[in-house]
Amino acid sequence: MDKLTQRLRASLLENPAVQIKESAQWYLPVETFDVAFKRVKRSKMDILMKMMLLAFEQTSIRRAANLSEMLLVEELFIADLIEKMQRTGLIRLEKEIYKLTTKGHQQLQTGIIDEEMEEEWTELFYSPGHDKFWPAMTVPLPESDEELTLYRYANDQDLINSDRILQVLSAREDGLDENGFQTVVANVLSFDKRVVEQVPCLEFRMYNKEQDIFYARVWNTWLERWDETLENQIEEQEQVKWREKWTAAAEVSE
Amino acid sequence: MKKHSTTYRCPVTLTNKAKDKMRELRLEERSFFSLEKSFHVYIEKYPPAADRVLSAALFFDIEANTRMVEKYNEFVVVLHCVVEKDRFIATNVTTRAVHTPVHTNWRHPVYLKFDLNVQRGSTVPFDLLSLIHEMPVAEESSMYVKKRIASWEGYLKIQERSADIPDMTSRYSGLKFSGDFSRVTITGCKLGEKEWKLLKDLSVKLKGIDQDIGKVLKANRSALTVEVELHSYMEKLARQQRLDVNPKEVVFSNFATLSQVKRLRKGFKDLENGLAANPELERLLFENKPPVKAPKKQATLQFHNRLNKFQQEAVVGAMSAEDLYVIQGPPGTGKTTVISEICLQNAKAGLRTLVASQSNLAVDNALGRLLAHKDIRILRVGRTESIEEEGKKFIEENVGQYWKDHTLTEVSTQFEARQKRGSELEVEWATNEREIEQLQPLLARLKEEFAAKQKAEKRFSEIQSIIDEQKQNVQVVDQELRTAQNEVEETSQSLRLLNAAIEKDETFLRSEPDSGAIQKEWDANEQVIQQLQHSIACQELEDEIDEKQQSIEQTSAECEKWAEASKQMDALIAKVTDVKQVDGLKWIILEQNLERPINVQLLMDELKDIRERINQLEKLKEYHDKLKGAISYVEQLLEQQRISIGQVQQRAMKRSSVYTAVEIDHFLDELRSKLKEKTKIFPQMLVTDLEGLYSRRHFVRQKAERLKPFEAYKKMAQESFRLLKQEMIEQLQKKLRENKLSHQKMLRALEEQSTELHSLQTKHKQMMTLGEQIPNAKEMLHQKEAKAHELQKQKEQHEQVKQRIEINRDKRAKEAKQMQEAEQNLAQIEARLPQLHTIIQQKEEEQQPLQEILSTEPELEHEQVLKQLASLSFKRESLKQEKQKLPLFQSIQGKWFSLLEEATDHDLDEISKLYVKHANVIGTTCVASARKDFIESYPVFDVVIIDEVSKATPPELLLPMLKGKKVILVGDHHQLPPLLGNDTLEETLQEMADNSGNFEGKAELKKLLKESLFERLYKNLPKNNKTMLAIQYRMHENIMEAITPFYEQENERLQCGLTNSDSQRDHLLESPLIKRNNHLLWLDMPNEPAFFEERMKGGKSLYNPAELKEIGALLQELDEATAQVKQAGRMNADAKKSIGVISFYGEQVKRIDRLIQQELRLNHLTIRTGTVDRFQGMEMDVILLSMVRNHDNKQDDIGFAKDYRRLNVALSRAREVLVLIGSTKMFTERTKQANTRNMYTHVLEAAKKQQGLRTLKEVSLHG
């Protein structure tokens, strides 16, 4: 931890115009969720084509325009896909009405049926202060000798619901498997806040003489970067106060 | 644009050179030309040369000629030909690289059917020949562009200043990031002396980092530091400290600028090579009067945005224009709305639109404001990292999501609406049925009534026809009655007249004597007349006898005269016969005044002539004698001298001279006197004289020879004289004969007259015995004859009267009878009339009840009810259909909705492929539109819309323009011109002038700066091709007032479109400085040293600390005022006032930034700062303008605050409040140019008028 602090200080002070007025260490709470979810296997056929096959099956469609009106989709898209489906033998015109061929029926069958997969589990990390899910840590958090205090602007709002988790999982887990099937996260079975991780952060209150500006630098050890969200939160609350404090101090010391 | 191409037969022969070339290229001549039935070929015309009038190159299309391409696809074949009347002669064959465009505007596409068997008498088709004739010469067209575009060179020159800088690599010691990671200072750079100077604006790359990290802002040679502005996408890496990489090596490169300049250059070249999508582009750009095509017809459009009249005019104009349309949009006038509407209209018309602008921000702004509509598919093309938030959703990787979001809302809205519709449908269906039922009985009743009415109508019209008939009868009878009455009247009148006439005639007959007495009187009178006529005849006979006697006397006198004349003539003949001499004869002729007939005259002339010749002969003889004397004298003298004269004589004979008598006399006189005077005579002289004498004698002799001898003349004269006498005697004898004849005639006449006289006398005697003579007979005869006439007349009149009486009596009898008949007729007619009237009355009474039925109108009502029923059943039908369709739609859309909701990335990928394929509004920056990949995906657009045109340089504008068949330019030349980097063009130009003194194209560039391309086009285009949007919706009208003078030169005044500025632009604030009704304020800074501007250390830019202080105070005041407004509940607690703090100077802006970030806590405001130039296109509730300039230096002025366009932009950013912070004295009085002073004075006056002027005293009192 001290080593890290030293390194950061050094890099900050590379600029001779800046001073570190104060520094601090505290922890940021990061919640770990255990999530159970299920994925399904789905054919590669995209939804518009699937929808069109369904429509051809259910009703009489003579022109792309009919379908365009129903699905509220650009006629050109429909016309394109109709042409493609005719070409690949999924549909044909019978008495001026589009009908599914046997192949078309087959494809539709496989298209609409999702093959359920085994239940799966994973961990998600959420920072309420950022309202963001973070990736898993790559290096272990540094050990600290002293007891760290909680970040002073930490909030405990509960914004997590299964929809958000589904979104995060979809972005992470959806994909194509080796057989050309889509694997899609279908639903979140359960999510439980397991532990709250204490993520140490190093705060530096900076002054640039040349430009006469005060600013904050916060190193986030989980993300391994200067964290602008935290910096902004601190600056917004304290920046003006710092000026008052240190300008007054400077005057006194003079 | 595909031109229509025709197929022509083309006889062609190849020269040996061409054949060699073909062989070299491994093109087999015969088989090559037979690869296609007809080749698609682009013809390019060459300039005419001395030896060839018409020559051209044929470029073989590499796409259309499929069979040719199968065999030869490594290059484009070009056939260079001389065009003759009978054939093309290919003189050379060359190739072009496959990727060079074959189709250019300078070439003309045709299909040619090559014919290698050129025979005698074959010809090149006339149409093909004339096509080539009329084509422009490609080289000339290119030259045209080259010449014109030279005036734009300057822009490229500016950008190329540093183009040839090679990459510079340096080691460095460290990176120092600014507080917000927007900048980095690279320390310890090791660069060459020269290199330090070239660093500005170069892009910066660190070894080990893929992308550029940013651009050089400042290089500090002495500190060995380079300040770099980081690209925003670098912030993350910087915060992760991932920019600290080893080895520490930095590369400064000019690649970005270079590639940009390259693209701009290529734009020039493309235009030069005729590669513009609109073949007229160069002329539209460069001609003083752009040759725009007149719109074929004004489009009639249905608008999807709410547009004012100017916006509508702009959209209709832009849609109707064929090639170019220009829209001038002052601040806040809804340019983007117009662009949005045009894009949608284009999309509906199936056209593809490019929306381009100089900056990414403007492109994203324009796209972000387009309506979300399923017909419009927007795609943003460009480097993702430079695209703003508003444009991000349209980049390729996001359009799937955008499409899904949009479709999902559409589907769910419809789905929900239809769900509601289901129950509504039922209600409507029931209502409909009820209504139909209710109408049925009414319909039945009306039907009955209608039938009854129809019946009544029929009956009524039947009766009416009878009435009409009877009425007609009455008319006829009336007519008859009138005729009968007239007849009776007329007959009685005529009877009265007849009676009167008869009465009169009878009276006459009674009063006059009867015809017998008249006859008697007439007979007596006739007798007297006969006597009188006899007496007159006797008288006349006597007169005749007298006359005859007188005539006899005259005739005998004549007789005697003729006898005398004959006697005289006899005597004359005798006299003539005796005459012996001509003169005597002449005398007689004169004396007797005889006629001289033509032969007499001839004879006399002949005699005269003969006499003359005799005279001449005598004269010649006389001269001959004289000369002879002289000759013999001289001969004698010469003989004494013993000089032979033979030769002299011969010589003289040879001379042929002509002499007159006078000359000979003179010659002789001279000789004579010579001989007399001179004692000594020189023989030589004498010889000459003798020769003269001989010659003269010879002449005299010759002349005499020509005449006849004397005797002959004498005989001729005698003969003529005899003939003359004879002639005259004959003439006289003829006269004598005539005289005798006349005499005899007279004698005969005398005899006749005597006989007549005798017979007259006998007759007279007889008459005298018959009756006595009455004197005055003639006069009396007249009287008697008149009397006889009178009597005759009386007799005739008497007869006539008698006859007339007879006739009239007959007539009277007849008419009396007629009268009786007429009276009877009249009586009959009069009796018929009342009968008829009775019938009519009866019938009319019958009509009365029918009329009542007819006055009702059941048919109208009936029709209405039928109509109602029809619309009800129509509605029922549509409801039925809707009812039928509804579940289907619901089920399909329900399914669709759920499918969409769980759409995966894979689904959206597929959709985005379709979307990109059919994208019809594509947005990118001007320069990016010339990127290679973009050109390949989108070579041509139907319409190119360029926004913020005035901010782009012409070379930049050219790039998107090249791609548009139609170009629409949107801008405002009263706002700021292009920026180059962070500098204005003027500044850059100044800098270049300072550095290099002069450079090519500087003059042109200055001209362009004065009047931009946009401005020139806007001014010179015809009315149909431009519009100014003259209604602004941004500013409170009081703020707008500050900028109206800038638009006074335009056709339309700038107007405020806000219906109520005070309520729609109510800033709600109430502070010491800003009252609720203040919208335009000027905070006056004293023109004193304490408030003066300052110059930044080591830089050019200016700042003003005093103004900075005031701005700080003012922002605080605004923040507090906003808090109060929130407290009073006039504003939402979460809302913030948007405030822009702007300045003419960058350094001031930097200091304002620092002030706001470091020293102020403003919880109720969102603040953006920037230079005026950067703020163009933006708007804020409140704008504070820090004017900076304030000094008392007589040499100095107010810098680029002079430019009215900059002031216009500065003044037109605020919606609700605009506060100027600066010295009024500096800007309205100390400024050098009068028009600049006026410009600022107008603003000051406007502020004063609105009680908006604040002096610093006031400010500090409150503050």
What pLDDT is attached to residue B680? 66
Query: CB–CB of B892 and A42 under 8 A?
Result: no
Q: Which of B261-265, B810-814, B880-884, B1045-1049 has the lowest mean pLDDT?
A: B880-884
Q: Are B1159 and A81 an interchain contact pair (Cβ–Cβ within 8 Å)?
A: no
Out of A205-214, B246-255, B772-781, B964-973, which region has the weakest mean confidence (pLDDT)? Answer: B772-781
d(CA B953, CA B157): 12
> In this complex, is the C-beta atom of B176 within 8 Å of any C-beta atom belonging to chain A?
yes
pLDDT, residue B1, reads 38
Q: B180 at the A interface (CB within 8 A)?
A: yes
User: Structural domain boundaries of chain A?
Assistant: 2-37+119-253, 46-110
Question: Could you tell me the pLDDT band of residue B880, with boundaries at 50, 70 and 90?
Answer: confident
Report the range of poorest mean pLDDT among A223-237, B482-496, B520-534. Answer: B520-534
List CB contacts (< 8 A) between B1163 and chain A.
none
**pLDDT score for B1000:** 59
* Predicted confidence (pLDDT) per residue in A73-85, tens digit: 988 899 999 999 9
- Is pLDDT at B622 greater than 50 in this prediction? yes
Tell me the count of A-B CB pairs closer than 8 A: 115
The domain defined by A46-110 folds into Arc Repressor Mutant, subunit A (1.10.10)
A-facing residues of B in 821-840 (CB < 8 A) are none
Cβ–Cβ under 8 Å, residues A222 and A17? no
Residue B467 has pLDDT above 80, yes or no: yes
Single-letter residue type at B1117: E
What phi, psi does B240 have (nearest 5°)? Answer: -80, 0
Mean pLDDT of B880-901: 86
* Contact between B1157 and A213 using a beta-carbon 8 Å cutoff: yes
Report the Cα–Cα distance between both ends of chain B, in Å, rounded.
68
| Contact (CB<8Å) A77/B1159 | no
Q: pLDDT tens for residues B958-1003? A: 999 999 999 999 999 999 887 766 566 666 666 666 665 555 566 6
Packed helices B683-706 and B646-654: angle between N→C axes, nearest 10 degrees: 50
Q: Closest Cα of chain A to B1142: distance in Å?
A: 20
* pLDDT of amino acid B993: 64
The 3-state secondary structure of chain A reads CHHHHHHHHHHHHCCCCEEEEEEEEEEEEEEEEEEEEEEEEECCCCHHHHHHHHHHHHCCCCCHHHHHHHHCCCHHHHHHHHHHHHHCCCEEEECCEEEECHHHHHHHHHHHCCEEEEEEEEEEEEECCCCEEECCCCCCCCCCCCCCEECCCCCCCCCCCHHHHHHHHHHHHCEECCCCCEEEEEEEEEEEEEEEEEEEEEEEEEEECCCCEEEEEEEECCCCEECHHHHHHHHHHHHHHHHHHHHHHHHHHC
For residue range B275-306, list pLDDT tens digits in order: 899 988 988 888 888 888 888 887 788 898 88
Closest among B1194, B1202, B1190 to B1235, alpha carbons compared: B1202
Higher pLDDT, B718 or B1156: B1156
pTM reported for the whole predicted model:
0.68
Q: Is residue B1146 over pLDDT 90?
A: no
Whether the pLDDT of residue B1259 is over 60: the answer is no
> Which residues between 492 and 521 in chain B have a beta carbon less than 8 angstroms from any beta carbon of chain A?
none
Chain A residues near residue B910 by CB distance under 8 angstroms: 46, 48-49
Q: Cβ contact (<8 Å) for A46 and B239?
A: no
Nearest CA to B40 out of B6, B79, B90 is that of: B6
**With contacts defined as CB-CB under 8 Å, which chain B residues touch A208?**
179
CB contact under 8 A, A11 and B915: no
| Contact status of B4 with chain A (Cβ, < 8 Å) | no
Give B599-612 pLDDT, tens digit per residue.
Answer: 778 888 888 888 88
Contact between A70 and B892 using a beta-carbon 8 Å cutoff? yes
pLDDT per position as a tens digit, B1000-1029: 566 666 776 677 888 889 989 998 899 999
| Residue A139: predicted pLDDT | 77
Q: What is the mean pLDDT of residues B1149-1160?
A: 89
* pLDDT computed for residue A34 by the predictor: 92
What was the pLDDT predicted at B389?
83
Q: Which of A48, A66, A177, A210 is most worth mutating to test chain B (most B CB atoms within 10 A of its CB)?
A: A48
Q: Which candidate, B756, B762, B768, B753, places its Cα nearest to that of B537?
A: B768
Q: B180-194, B592-606, B798-812, B831-845 — which is least confidently predicted?
A: B592-606
Question: Any chain A CB within 8 A of the CB of B235?
Answer: yes
Residue B1180: in which H helix or E strand, if any?
Answer: strand B1180-1186
Which chain A residues contact residue B407 at CB under 8 A?
71-73
**Across all residues in chain B, what is the average pLDDT?**
85
User: Residue type at B1263?
Assistant: G
pLDDT confidence of residue B1046: 92
Q: Tell whether the model's pLDDT for residue B5 goes beyond 70.
A: no
* Residue predicted with more confidence, B978 or B368: B368
What percent of chain B has a predicted confidence (pLDDT) above 70?
Answer: 96
Confidence check: pLDDT of A46 > 80 = yes
Give the mean pLDDT of B1213-1223: 95
- Chain A interface includes B1097 (CB < 8 A): no
- Nearest CB among A11, A46, A76 relative to B911 is that of A46
B602 three-state secondary structure: helix
Q: What is the mean pLDDT of residues B762-770?
A: 79
Exposed e or buried b per residue across B767-791, where buried means at least 16 C-beta atoms within 10 angstroms of its C-beta: beeeeeebeebeebbeebeebbeeb
Task: Give B939's contacts (C-beta < 8 A, 6+ positions apart).
Answer: B963
Preferred mutation among B905, B912, B1136 to probe A, highest tally of A CBs within 10 A: B905
**Least trusted range by pLDDT, from B29-43, B659-673, B1066-1080, B1167-1181:** B659-673
What is the reported pLDDT for B1261?
A: 47
Report d(CA B413, CA B1262) in Å as an integer: 55
ipTM of the complex as predicted: 0.84
Most confident of B121-125, B253-257, B515-519, B1023-1027: B1023-1027
CA A249 to each of CA A21, A241, A253, B539: distance values in angstroms, whole numbers, following the listed order: 12, 12, 6, 186
Look at residue B1263 in the predicted model and tell me its pLDDT: 41
Nearest chain A alpha carbon to B403: A73
Residue B1177 clears pLDDT 90, i.e. is over it: no
pLDDT at B1262 over 70: no
Whether B676 has a pLDDT exceeding 80, the answer reads: no
- Residue B484 has a pLDDT of 87
Chain B residues inside the 8 Å CB shell of A223 = 240
Residue B581 CB-density burial (10 A; 0-12 exposed, 13-18 middle, 19+ buried): exposed
> Which of the residue ranges B75-89, B341-355, B849-863 would you say has the lowest mean pLDDT?
B849-863
pLDDT at A254: 54
Convert the pLDDT of each residue in B176-218 to its tens digit.
888 888 889 898 888 888 888 888 888 898 888 888 899 898 8
Confidence of residue B237 (pLDDT cuts 50, 70, 90): confident
Q: Which residues of A touch B174 (CB under 8 A)?
A: 14
Tell me what the mean pLDDT of segment B489-496 comes to.
88
Question: Residue B2: is its pLDDT beyond 50?
Answer: no
Residue B456: predicted pLDDT: 87
Distance from CA of A77 to the nearest CA of B (A): 6
A57: nearest CA in chain B? B892
- Tell me: pLDDT of B1167 over 90: yes
